[in-house]
Amino acid sequence: MSSLQEMKALFAPKSIAVIGASVKDGSIGNTVVKNLIESGFAGAIYPINPKAPDILGIKAYASVKDVPGEVDIAVFCVPAHIVLGAARECAEKKVKGYVVITSGFSEVGHEGAELEKQLVEIAKSSGGRVIGPNIVGVLLNESKANASFAPSLPYPGKTALISQSGALLISLDMATFVRQFGASSMVSLGNMSDVDFADCIDFYAHDENTNCVSLYIEGVKDGRRFIESGRKAGKPIVALKSGVSAHGAAAAASHTGSLAGSVKVYDAAFKQAHVIRARDLDELLDRSQALALQPPMTGKNICVITNGGGIGVLASDSAEAYGVPLATVPKDLQEEFKKCMPDFGSAKNPVDITGGAGLKGYEDAIAVALKSDWVDGLAVLYCETAVTQPDEIAEGVMRAIAATGVKDKPIVACFVGGVKCIAAGKKLTAAGIPFYENPDKAMSALSALRQAAIFQAEGIQDDYVPAKDVDQATARAVIAEARADGRNVLTEPEAKKVFAAYGLPVGKSQVATSEDMAVEFAQEIGYPLVMKIVSPQIIHKSDAGGVKVNIKDEAGVRAAYKTILANAKAYNADANIHGILLQSMAPMGKEVIVGSVNDPQFGPTVMFGLGGIFVEVLKDVTFRVAPFSSKTAMDMFPEIKSYQILQGTRGEKRLDQEALSVIVSRISQLVTELSDEIAETDANPIMLYPEGQGLAVVDARIILKKK
């Protein structure tokens, strides 16, 4: 059975057993049965209880094995120490889904983690999947199955809301009614012993009742699969990642026992997974609502129609802050808009039809905007006035939109005012027009719709193709040698050999073990030269006086050789000295850094930044999860604040970003193909030259995984 079919049994069940169904009012085992009945679940409900003949009027069974028909999912409400026994019976019964509400597993420590592992093993032994443990349950509007202890199914709609936190899920469930937030499902993931975010994305990507997947994430478990699932979903995904502060991460870790991962790596991974970020709970719901109800915004031109200058300016400010700045409406379109407003209105954008304009102004301006080729997305803003009725305006807005027949441009509405505005907003939302009480939120929603279109245009595949002219065998041989030597830090010449095997321009170099040999190598390599100590015990070569630059002749080589050796011995008398490295001295260029880490969630991940203070002081760096194409590497460069330096400042030429992008991609290939061996790499500095002149890797560092 494919993973998708497995998930279907879980999220569109036809029969549900409740393990630990109870006659005791208020108990979870009783609540789940009651919830299934009250939510109107049309399939079979099987309470499992060894003592009671029936629960809430439904025949109960002593064991799941006694159930006459098939059981799609079993909801576990029994204490942790009983779960495994019940699970074994479910496995015999070939139950497809184990919804394990019970807590007391990996979140409480090592013993619980063991129990959890066994639970998954039992389920998988007969093709079952586990959601949880330590969850609220699953709330499925399409199946009318409230298989949880949350009080009711959520307000119906087109967003699947997946939450790692159960408490948050219950409270959001109730909030859906206040906010008129439409959910197709709500799923509590808890400890994610088996089913995780990626599984849910896979399923809801194919669910015709779901237009948007909304995630509350504390930490993902298999980062690479998360990226793959997100990327291939083809549906908007929004996520609120919690634990992004130092203190918050600590709290998250104690909360679910999952590692938080670096914030910057999550930033990168979300981009690669085509996941839109939300900065807080409101934005998660606001953006999800827009993405569920409206089409992506395929161009960049937002038109704002308003009856108030103030909220228009606020919308304009917010648009810029969200990266979708307003542009002035073209002259011919301005002429059209002018017909919809009094003389003192403004047709430039925001299109200010003024406070007196009323219903007709809105209807006319909306028609003009939606019919214009220039307009890609529309925000209709309204300030409640003493002379207009919010309800009438809302009706007019709906009428005008319907009359144009335009369906491929996103529209959001923002009414600022009192109870009448809230009532009007409910109508708009019900008609599929996302409603907000604040222009900032409306622009946040439109920017998410724009981002969805950008992700859509990027397509499912990063066009990464591994370079063929690499020599993995040589790289592995170098690493094996260092391993044999008992080291997990490669020397600079070793690291450069590995880099060279992957086609990185490390320049000519040789390691001399005598002064005469150094002179000989110097002639081969050519002047000017750099000479450096090579010793596994001397990592900070400069500090040890182990580096001499700009050596121009034989006398210089001999002097440097002596000095470096003497310095090194003075620095660390016990250091094992492999020799002295001679390398051609790269001309000065702009210093950049490309490094990699092995992220606990996402695996090999490549960092890029400018050298020196840019990395050290400004932390001006950006990441991508490896491997990726040079095209993706090109996308990284504009993300650093100092990008203009790569573009050329003060009349300098643009730097060779194309050459750099190839190198960054190759490093991503290297750290991926050797991810079993390599923990961290640093190509630092890389001298980057003007366009067409390439680059040179001046220093290299590779740290191996501890084995």
Residues 163-222 that bind a second copy (CB under 8 A): 163-168, 170-178, 216, 218
Instruction: Tell me whether residue 254 or residue 461 sits nearer to a second copy (CB atom).
Output: 254
Which residue has 């093709």 as its token pair? 127
Instruction: Report the alpha-carbon angle 441-446-449, nearest 5.
Output: 130
Judge contact between 193 and 116, C-beta under 8 A.
yes
CB neighbourhood size of 501 (10 A): 20
The sign one gets for the Cα dihedral 667, 669, 672, 675 is negative
Which residue has 């015990």 as its token pair? 537
CB neighbourhood size of 611 (10 A): 17
Instruction: Tell me whether residue 356 or residue 694 sits nearer to a second copy (CB atom).
Output: 356
Determine if 317 is a binding residue for a second copy (CB under 8 A): yes
Judge contact between 354 and 307, C-beta under 8 A.
yes
Judge contact between 141 and 184, C-beta under 8 A.
yes
Among 51, 208, 373, 387, indicate the residue that binds a second copy (CB under 8 A): 387
**Dihedral Cα 45, 46, 49, 55, nearest 10 deg:** 40
Determine if 645 is a binding residue for a second copy (CB under 8 A): yes
| Segment lying near a second copy (by CB under 8 A), choices 65-73, 81-89, 637-645, 653-661 | 637-645
CB neighbourhood size of 574 (10 A): 6
Instruction: Tell me whether residue 350 or residue 579 sits nearer to a second copy (CB atom).
Output: 350
The minimum distance between CB 315 and a second copy, in angstroms, equals 8
Determine if 244 is a binding residue for a second copy (CB under 8 A): yes
Determine if 352 is a binding residue for a second copy (CB under 8 A): yes
The minimum distance between CB 555 and a second copy, in angstroms, equals 28
Instruction: Tell me whether residue 2 or residue 649 sits nearer to a second copy (CB atom).
Output: 649
The minimum distance between CB 675 and a second copy, in angstroms, equals 30
Instruction: Report the alpha-carbon angle 268-270-274, nearest 5.
Output: 120
> Residues near 450 by Cβ (< 8 Å), separated by ≥ 6?
296, 297, 300, 324, 377
233-236: long-range contacts, CB 8 A cutoff, minimum separation 24:
233/201, 233/202, 233/204, 233/205, 233/274, 234/205, 234/456, 234/460, 235/204, 235/205, 235/210, 235/211, 236/211, 236/212, 236/276, 236/291, 236/292, 236/296, 236/448, 236/452, 236/455
Determine if 615 is a binding residue for a second copy (CB under 8 A): no
Among 355, 396, 579, 595, indicate the residue that binds a second copy (CB under 8 A): 355
Determine if 150 is a binding residue for a second copy (CB under 8 A): yes
Q: How far apart are CA 587 and CA 327, in angstroms?
A: 44
* x/- letters, 57..86, toward a second copy (CB under 8 A): ------------------------------
Residues 29-48 that bind a second copy (CB under 8 A): 31
Instruction: Report the alpha-carbon angle 245-248-250, nearest 5.
Output: 115
Determine if 264 is a binding residue for a second copy (CB under 8 A): no
| Segment lying near a second copy (by CB under 8 A), choices 87-95, 437-445, 513-521, 568-576 | 437-445
Determine if 259 is a binding residue for a second copy (CB under 8 A): no
- Biggest alpha carbon–alpha carbon distance for the chain: 100
Judge contact between 538 and 550, C-beta under 8 A.
no
Helices (H) and strands (E) in the chain, counts: 24, 29
Determine if 267 is a binding residue for a second copy (CB under 8 A): no
Determine if 15 is a binding residue for a second copy (CB under 8 A): no
Determine if 361 is a binding residue for a second copy (CB under 8 A): no
Determine if 50 is a binding residue for a second copy (CB under 8 A): no
Instruction: Tell me whether residue 381 or residue 606 sits nearer to a second copy (CB atom).
Output: 381
Among 457, 473, 573, 617, indicate the residue that binds a second copy (CB under 8 A): 617
> Residues near 132 by Cβ (< 8 Å), separated by ≥ 6?
76, 98, 99, 100, 101, 102, 188, 189, 190, 191, 193
Determine if 437 is a binding residue for a second copy (CB under 8 A): yes
Among 247, 331, 468, 706, indicate the residue that binds a second copy (CB under 8 A): 247
The minimum distance between CB 244 and a second copy, in angstroms, equals 5
Among 2, 51, 208, 254, indicate the residue that binds a second copy (CB under 8 A): 254
Among 320, 481, 554, 652, indicate the residue that binds a second copy (CB under 8 A): 320
Q: How far apart are CA 171 and CA 160, in angstroms?
A: 16
The minimum distance between CB 697 and a second copy, in angstroms, equals 22
Q: How far apart are CA 623 and CA 639, in angstroms?
A: 9
Determine if 162 is a binding residue for a second copy (CB under 8 A): no
Determine if 359 is a binding residue for a second copy (CB under 8 A): no
Among 316, 447, 583, 681, indicate the residue that binds a second copy (CB under 8 A): 316
Query: How many chain residues are in contact with a second copy, going by CB under 8 A?
Result: 94
